Amino acid sequence: MPIVTISEIEKISENALQAYGAREWIAKSVARAIANSEAYGNIICGLYYLESYCLQLASGRVNGAADPHVLIPRPGSILVDAKYGFAQAAFECALPDAIKATQTNGTASLSVAHAHTCTSLGYFTSQFAAEGLLAIGFTNASAAVAPPSGSTKVIGTNPIAMSVPDGQGGLSVHFDFSTSAVALGKITMAKAAGKKIPLGWAVDSEGIPTTDPEAALAGSLVSTGDYKGWGLGVLAEILAAGITGSVNSLDVSGLKLADGVPHGLGQFYLIIDPGTHHADFGARLARLSDAVQLQEGARLPGANRVPMANINVSESLWQSVVALESGPL
């Protein structure tokens, strides 16, 4: 199993994306996100997606030359139209305005509309935290989750992420999770590996709990925490689709399919300057953190995150990634 550096992953991803038609600055933007996911062990949002990105560039399902358009409809509201290009590039274009709006108003929102899947939502919220701002993000995805007591897919895995600054350019709290019991990628990975999945992850097409990943993909995932997770997934759907003016999960085909209609998904971010209302935010956070750390083995979500400089990549995956550098055959 090859050991590769994160910088190698970023460069080879950039080269592959350009080879398949992405403009240089867009390829760099997406490659940084891929490398970041791998550095933090989030393999589902890293190289796992690179081949589908490239094939979708070739088919036109994602626009690798899109010029995102940033609008400021109101002083605390930023909207960027990704124009069916990559979410990473659209976010990059809107980030300075969103930071400025939050610093000016105390609270602001950023809507990313008509974008390709953003994969790791926490990658984006953490960029606000690096500027001393608290951010909560929401997005939707192709329909994969049925409502409790139902059997038909209605919403996506619909992640929610939150990043809280530590006042020193880092993170004191960070989480990024799907509102389904598990990310869809874990089901597809189990199927590829010929492994069963745990009960409680999914139901088959008749709504019966299953351990068969193929039956799960034909059926639907379930929400984490039953009705509570369902409510959070619906919240993400309303904000990511309704507020941004993007598509419902019901109207997006499989995210990794090479051909088809562009994703057109939305992401919605609520950004807050923690010092807006009083000067004791840091003290309140420290009080919480201290109480958690008194308990052996306990920690706040995302505490002590350390990126890896080198990772192991399976031989088959790395060979396929290297082959992508040559572009379409």
Q: Supply the DSSP string of 181-218, one letter for each residue.
A: SS-HHHHHHHHHHT----TTSEE-TTS-B-S-HHHHHH
Note whether residue 254 is domain-resident: yes
Q: Which amino acid is at 270?
A: L
Q: Is the pLDDT of residue 86 over 80?
A: yes
* Measured distance CA(35)–CA(46) in Å, rounded: 7
- Residue 77 placed within a domain: yes
Residue-by-residue DSSP string for 6-64: HHHHHHHHHHHHHHTT--HHHHHHHHHHHHHHHHTT-GGGTGGGHHHHHHHHHHTSS-T
What band does 150 get if pLDDT is binned at 50, 70 and 90?
confident
Residues with Cβ < 8 Å from 254, sequence gap 6 or more?
A: 142, 260
3-state secondary structure of 144: coil
On average, the pLDDT of the chain sits at 96
pLDDT, mean of residues 128-157:
95
In a domain, 186, yes or no: no
Model pLDDT, residue 291: 97
Is residue 59 scored above 80 in pLDDT? yes
What is the end-to-end Cα distance of the chain in Å, rounded? 26
Which residues are CB-neighbours of 296 under 8 A, at least 6 positions away? none
pLDDT of residue 183: 86
Give the count of domains, the chain: 1
Q: Residue 271 domain-assigned?
A: yes
How far, in Å, CA of 32 to CA of 50, rounded? Answer: 12
Q: Which domain holds residue 109?
A: 68-180+223-290+302-307
Query: How confident is the model over 18-47, as a mean pLDDT?
Result: 97
The pLDDT, as a whole number, for residue 168 is 85
Q: Does some domain include residue 14?
A: no
Has residue 200 been placed in a domain? Answer: no
Dist. CA 178–CA 137, nearest whole Å: 12
What CATH code is carried by the domain that includes residue 170? 3.30.1370.60
Calculate mean pLDDT across residues 242-270: 97
Q: What is the mean pLDDT of residues 301-313?
A: 94
Dihedral (Cα; 240, 242, 246, 251), 10-degree rounding: 100
Please list, in sequence order, all residues whose beta carbon lies within 8 angstroms of the beta carbon of residue 245, skipping any fewer than 6 positions away: 111, 113, 114, 266
Question: Residue 107 carries which DSSP code?
Answer: E
| In-domain check, residue 53 | no
In a domain, 28, yes or no: no
Q: What's the one-letter identity of residue 328?
A: P
Does residue 1 register a pLDDT over 80? no
Q: Which residue has the tokens 């409809």?
A: 73
